């Protein structure tokens, strides 16, 4: 019996071996995504089985399968899981920094707590998800270990840790994130979600977007991590009803927290929370603040209705160093993502388009002038390139302004209805 019935494909080429059995490689569409549409949720019939033993290889279609490690190998990589190699800890277990002996690559080894929040099912989901889905804004899974009752995952090492480490409780000797770094992180995270929603087939609901799950490389490029709670999205207008609500309090969409109704728009809400955290520098839930400020979304909602109050949302660490128009549009995007009704939240494609305009930092005067050693391109090519760039900027600006207008319009209509009912 195959461990992974959901991901078998009719194509013969690119087969790979897991647990001594062959699993056919996935066919891909023109966008390089999985073209087979598995029915229902992941591993509904085999949730307790895990991959073991053999090392899988390149399937020949861009989906690089994860390598199987022994527990002894990973103990050697992490120097027997010494405390000085520990770089993180959470409900899932501990994360250690190590270096692979064969390649010398720095890696992060996540050792799952056998009594923690992730079980065999979540472990298997994460291995398969990250083996099948590849994007510059998704963390790269290098391998796994399933020796006996040990469950470990091996990722590329992200030197700057998580977004949470740079946004909250910043120590005095650490430089706070500037505005453009924050928008860069927001845009990258949005692109990761856009890939899961629009390129994966069937679409994937991430279900656990939060600041601690956004990892940063040495240049603050973000990558989404921890896919143990990911779920296949519904097809068409259908809704996934889940009796087991997963995720993190404060980041979960209200309809999912209340009724277990899970859609792609649930991720959009979570993204709105993260974007608001980036703007404000506040945690989504912070019990150390005054009662009316402990819930970030509830605290920000009244300010969404009045553009003059948008500066009140801004992280004091920015010290006013942000473009006013960019702030207005970023807040408008967050407000639209945080709409109570899922149907009025934007698609991640529109969010990426709107944020793409905000992430461009202003150039210094004369920076576009070529040096004497450079040979300037022909004038016609320069004009064509400039026209294309301006056209793209116009599209991004139009989407951002449309989202901002939509947010303000809904806020004004709500205020009018409230005043009319008095």
Q: What is the 3-state secondary structure (H, E, C) of 182-204?
A: HHHHHHHHHHHHHHHHHHCCCCE
pLDDT band at 329 (very low <50, low <70, confident <90, very high): very high
DSSP one-letter code for 77: H
pLDDT band at 357 (very low <50, low <70, confident <90, very high): confident
pLDDT band at 362 (very low <50, low <70, confident <90, very high): low
Is 122 contained in some domain?
Answer: yes
SS3 380: helix
Mean pLDDT along residues 78-88: 92
Cα→Cα distances 400→196, 215, 334, 354, Å: 22, 26, 11, 4
Is 422 contained in some domain?
Answer: no
Is 370 contained in some domain?
Answer: no
Q: What is the pLDDT of residue 32?
A: 38
Q: Is 169 a catalytic residue?
A: no
| Domain end residue (candidates: 123, 156, 189) | 156
CB count within 10 Å of CB 111 equals: 23
Say whether both 258 and 273 belong to one domain: yes
CB-based contacts of 229: which residues, under 8 Å, 6+ apart? 122, 125, 206, 207, 208, 246, 247
In the chain, % of residues over pLDDT 70: 66
Q: What is the pLDDT of residue 46?
A: 39
Closest CA to 139 of 41, 213, 76, 207: 213
Number of domains, the chain: 2
Q: What is the pLDDT of residue 233?
A: 75
Cα→Cα distances 112→72, 146, 155, 383, 402, Å: 16, 11, 13, 55, 44
Is 369 contained in some domain?
Answer: no
CA atoms of 173 and 190, how far apart (whole Å):
30
Q: What is the pLDDT of residue 77?
A: 94
User: Catalytic one among 208, 226, 267, 315?
Assistant: 208
Give first-to-last CA distance, the chain, whole Å.
66
Residue 78 belongs to what domain range?
5-156
Q: Is 305 annotated as a binding residue?
A: no
Quote the mean pLDDT of the chain. Answer: 77
**Which of 119-123, 256-260, 398-402 holds the top average pLDDT?**
256-260
Per-residue pLDDT at 13 exceeds 80 = no
Say whether both 148 and 167 belong to one domain: no
Closest CA to 263 of 345, 352, 148: 345
Mean pLDDT along residues 148-154: 91
Structure confidence by residue, pLDDT tens digits, 176-220 = 999 999 999 999 999 999 999 999 988 999 999 999 999 999 999
Say whether both 151 and 183 belong to one domain: no
Say whether both 147 and 170 belong to one domain: no
Is 188 contained in some domain?
Answer: yes
| Continuous segment of H or E residues that includes residue 360 | none
Closest CA to 123 of 149, 90, 99: 149
CA atoms of 26 and 298, how far apart (whole Å):
44
Per-residue pLDDT at 346 exceeds 90 = yes
Q: What is the pLDDT of residue 237?
A: 53
Q: Residue 41: give its domain's CATH number.
A: 3.30.200.20
């Amino acid at each position: 019996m195959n461990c992974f019935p959901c991901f078998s494909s009719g194509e013969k080429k690119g087969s790979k071996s897991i647990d001594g059995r062959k699993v056919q490689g996935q066919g891909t569409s023109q966008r390089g995504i999985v073209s087979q549409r598995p029915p229902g949720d992941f591993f509904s019939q085999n949730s307790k089985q895990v991959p073991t033993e053999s090392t899988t290889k390149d399937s020949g279609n861009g989906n690089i399968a994860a390598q199987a490690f022994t527990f002894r190998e990973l103990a050697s990589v992490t120097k027997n899981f010494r405390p000085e190699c520990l770089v993180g800890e959470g409900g899932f277990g501990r994360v250690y920094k190590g270096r692979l002996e064969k390649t010398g690559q720095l890696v992060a080894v996540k050792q799952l707590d056998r009594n923690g929040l992730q079980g065999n099912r979540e472990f298997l989901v994460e291995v398969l998800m990250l083996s099948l889905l590849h994007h510059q804004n998704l963390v790269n899974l290098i391998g796994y270990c399933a020796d006996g009752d040990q469950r470990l995952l091996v990722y590329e090492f992200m030197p700057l840790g998580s977004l949470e480490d740079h946004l909250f409780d910043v120590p005095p000797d650490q430089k706070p994130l500037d505005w453009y770094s924050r928008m860069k992180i927001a845009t990258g995270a949005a692109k990761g979600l856009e890939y899961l929603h629009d390129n994966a087939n069937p679409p994937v609901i991430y279900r656990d977007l939060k600041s601690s799950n956004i990892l940063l490389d040495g240049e603050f490029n973000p990558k989404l991590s921890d896919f143990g709670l990911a779920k296949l999205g519904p097809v068409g207008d259908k809704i996934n009803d889940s009796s087991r609500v997963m995720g993190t309090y404060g980041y979960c969409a209200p309809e999912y927290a209340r009724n277990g109704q899970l859609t792609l728009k649930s991720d959009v809400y979570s993204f709105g929370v993260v974007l608001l955290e980036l703007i404000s520098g506040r945690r989504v839930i912070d019990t150390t603040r005054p009662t009316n400020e402990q819930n970030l979304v509830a605290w920000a909602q009244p300010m969404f209705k009045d553009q003059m109050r948008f500066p009140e949302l801004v992280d004091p660490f920015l010290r006013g160093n942000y473009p006013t128009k960019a702030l207005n549009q970023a807040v408008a995007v967050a407000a639209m993502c945080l709409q109570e009704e899922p149907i009025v939240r934007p698609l991640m494609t529109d969010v990426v388009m709107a944020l793409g305009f905000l992430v461009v930092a202003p150039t210094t005067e004369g920076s576009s002038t070529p040096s004497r050693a450079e040979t300037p391109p022909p004038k016609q090519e320069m004009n064509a390139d400039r026209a294309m760039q301006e056209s793209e900027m116009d599209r991004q600006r139009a989407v951002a302004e449309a989202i901002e207008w939509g947010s303000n319009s809904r806020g004004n209509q709500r205020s009018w209805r409230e005043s009319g009912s008095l």
